[in-house]
Structure 1
Amino acid sequence: MNIVATKKNSQEVSELLKASLAKAMTYQEYRTTVSDLVVDKKSTGTVQNEALADYTLLNNKRMKRLDKTLKFSEDIIEKIESVQRKVTWLVLTESWCGDAAQTMPVMNKLASLNPNIDFKVILRDENLELMNQFLYNGTLSIPKLIMIDDATNTVFSEWGPRPSKATQLVNDYKNTHGTLTPEFKQDLQIWYTKDKGVHTAEDLLAGLLLE
């Protein structure tokens, strides 16, 4: 599972979180930003090229579809509604990231079901100091979701860059083939479509309910 119970609560991390949260976007603000970038044929980040712009266009379509169609089981809804403590979910992302496009709508939908969860978005490349505190296997992999207990202002869990089931698929393919091919990446997107956010939601709930 990609949920990690964490004690990364040094003074440095606290200050980085405070600075990042001060400039964080809501999910709707992020969606508007991405939509505007599509019109301009651009992406987030300092690097601008046709490939990243194309990924941003595709991801905007994915997020738009998921925003409209995502539905959760009664069990997931009951669990998310039962959360009593106030928390902030802070996700680091970029518009060109395919995993982020498939999972951020799930984060937003879950957060919308409980007023105790405040979902915020920041861009990775503009917050590399914070990102470097939450690497995945030593890499800047995104999305990276940081779960913060509002009462204590401490990080209690982190998640990313993809649901545990998808991670297993990726790891198995890498072990067999050495690297991820374009064909596999397409197959992974098909997996996301068929999964309909279920494994992402289950992972996020597991992290949220950690004590």
Structure 2
Amino acid sequence: MESIIQSSVANSITYENYRNTIDTLLKEGKSTGHEQSEALTHYSELNVTRMNRLDKTMTVAAEFAEQLKELKGDYFWLVISEGWCGDAAQLVPIFHKMAELSPNIEMKIALRDDNDALMNLFLTNGARSIPKLIILDKNTLEVLGDFGPRPQEAKQLILDYKAEHGVVDETAKTNLQLWYLHDKGLSTQKEIMAVMAAAELKHDVV
């Protein structure tokens, strides 16, 4: 695992470069990732709009902002993502906003399809679901925790829909996007801060 984490960190890019990569590929009619299709390009275009909105309007709750500023450990947030992923469009801008508030957090993004070995370490029920936020000790690159691919309430929404309808269709995806809109990132922030609290305890023990 250690060598995989090291190579993935070396292969990761900043949030700004991630956004620029998505924009550049869209100008060529492409999406990030090894698979290309009109649908994935369409989703990428929608996601740019979503990320632009979140970059402008999303705020970190005052309670969590204060906690982020007071972190004792030094952390590297490694995010597995792709530009076509609807969940990533809703969550990665939140990760970025949170990381920016702390002098003790550096965040970078590893594209899923370019980092197979990393993705395989963080499967969700055997699936390559993204985004995944991996909390690392910045000095040792030890994995201290992870979050994703969705906050718990959003996960349950999709599970309930699939149980009732037998499939995750466009209606389910629309319902999920509406949930993200109304939640305003608070569930994500709360769950990430719980992971960070556990990471801080490990730091205190060390």
Q: Offset at 1:47?
A: 1.1
Q: Please state whether the residue corresponding to 1:132 is helix, strand or coil.
A: helix
Q: What TM-score do you get using the length of structure 2 for normalisation?
A: 0.93
**Counterpart amino acid of 2:111?**
L
Q: Percent identity?
A: 44
User: Which residue of the partner structure matches residue 180 of structure 2?
Assistant: 192
User: Which residue of the partner structure matches residue 6 of structure 1?
Assistant: none
User: Which residue of the partner structure matches residue 34 of structure 2?
Assistant: 46
**Counterpart amino acid of 1:97?**
C
Deviations 1:13-69 (A, max 9, x none): 110011111121001110111111222221011111111110111101111110111
Q: As a proportion of its length, which structure holds more helix?
A: 2
User: Which residue of the partner structure matches residue 36 of structure 1?
Assistant: 24
Q: Offset at 1:175?
A: 2.0
Q: Offset at 1:80?
A: 1.6
2:100 matches 1:112: yes
- Pick from 175, 189, 195 the counterpart of residue 201 of structure 1: 189
Residues 143-152 or 21-30, more deviating? 143-152
- Pick from 120, 126, 129 the counterpart of residue 138 of structure 1: 126
Q: Please state whether the residue corresponding to 1:122 is helix, strand or coil.
A: strand
**Cα distance in structure 2, aligned partners of 1:35 and 1:203:** 30
Q: Please state whether the residue corresponding to 2:177 is helix, strand or coil.
A: helix
User: Which residue of the partner structure matches residue 87 of structure 2?
Assistant: 99
Residues 160-171 of structure 1: pairs in structure 2 closer than 5 A? 160-171=148-159
Deviations 1:72-129 (A, max 9, x none): 2211211221211000010111111000000000000000000101101011011111
**Counterpart amino acid of 1:85?**
G
> How many residues matched?
199
Deviations 1:158-191 (A, max 9, x none): 1110111101111122222222121111111011
Aligned alpha-carbon RMSD (Å): 1.0
* Higher relative contact order (Cα pairs below 8 Å, separated by 6+ residues): 1
2:78 matches 1:78: no
Q: What TM-score do you get using the length of structure 1 for normalisation?
A: 0.91
